Amino acid sequence: MAIYAIGDIQGCHDQLIELLKKIDFKDDRDRLWFTGDLVNRGPKSLQTLRTVKAMGANATVVLGNHDLHLLATAYDHLKPGKKDTLDAILEAPDRDELLDWLRHRPLLHVDTDLRLTMVHAALHPRWSLDQAQSLAGEIESVLRSDEHIDFYKHMYGDKPRNWSDELKGWPRLRFITNVMTRLRYCDEAGKLRLSPKGAPGTQPGGLHPWFEIKSRRSINDPIIFGHWSTLALVRDYKFTNVYPLDTGCLWGGALTALRIDEQPFNRISIDCPVARKPKV
């Protein structure tokens, strides 16, 4: 048996199938972890969702910001954005089954046997891993309840920017969601800045990648994450105890799998054609 973690697919289904062939994935033997953002912006979101769902217990998926955006668009009857490629899912005969499966995926996955954690974007520097698990559970409970439609109505927005254990209600849930599905940069105190998306070295002064905050409480916990495709543009970047897996398949980079059940971890990638041109 082999266990691989795979970075953001975003509807690039053909590349997923090619990567599965390259790692010789067998559904009666192997297991896959997915860092979230299964859907959107790429050409085959529906096929991607169906393929991963069909893997059953062989696939562990954490929710990304694009997955949550799909749920909000579907359940809150939002008009898809100009860049969205979600229509095929929204019009599919198995739409309800797919959406119900998606909203029951976790926000955070911790494997105590492998001593590995997976999240789409980040953990806040002030959160321990145990606290992060509890906070993720707050979002998961809402998503799996009748309140999930109300959650989507309050999900969007960049505030609050500072964490407090005293945060309550929708601001608390929005902050947790923003950290785990959107965060790249924050300051040393943990104040969020969600707009910068470039590679380290391009951010405004005073900001740092979330995983470089020296006081980060999860610094000794190995973390797999996606979301940040521009990290792949920085050559010879030194990562300590974190494993970024979004290598920009959507933008003509690569789709990457990391074998995580044996040491040292082995990266396997396939080159991807440009599925969506970046905005100039």
pTM: 0.96
Structure confidence at residue 279 as a pLDDT band (50, 70, 90): low
- pLDDT for the residue 280: 40
Is the bond preceding 160 in cis, omega lying within 30 degrees of 0?
yes
- pLDDT for the residue 233: 80
Report whether 47 contacts 13 (CB < 8 A): yes
Total Cβ atoms within 10 A of residue 44: 22
Q: Which pLDDT tens digit goes with each residue over 223-235? A: 999 999 999 888 7
- What are the strands, taking DSSP E only, across the chain? 3-6, 31-34, 59-61, 108-111, 116-119, 185-186, 192-193, 208-209, 223-225, 242-244, 254-259, 266-271
Q: Which pLDDT tens digit goes with each residue over 19-69? A: 999 999 999 899 999 999 999 999 999 999 999 999 999 999 999 999 999
Total Cβ atoms within 10 A of residue 104: 12
Record the tokens describing residue 68, joined without a space.
């949550």
- pLDDT for the residue 278: 53
Q: Which pLDDT tens digit goes with each residue over 9-20? A: 999 999 999 999
What's domain 3-271's architecture? Answer: 4-Layer Sandwich (3.60)
Q: Report how far residue 143's alpha carbon sits from residue 68's, in angstroms, rounded to the nearest whole number.
A: 10
- pLDDT for the residue 275: 75
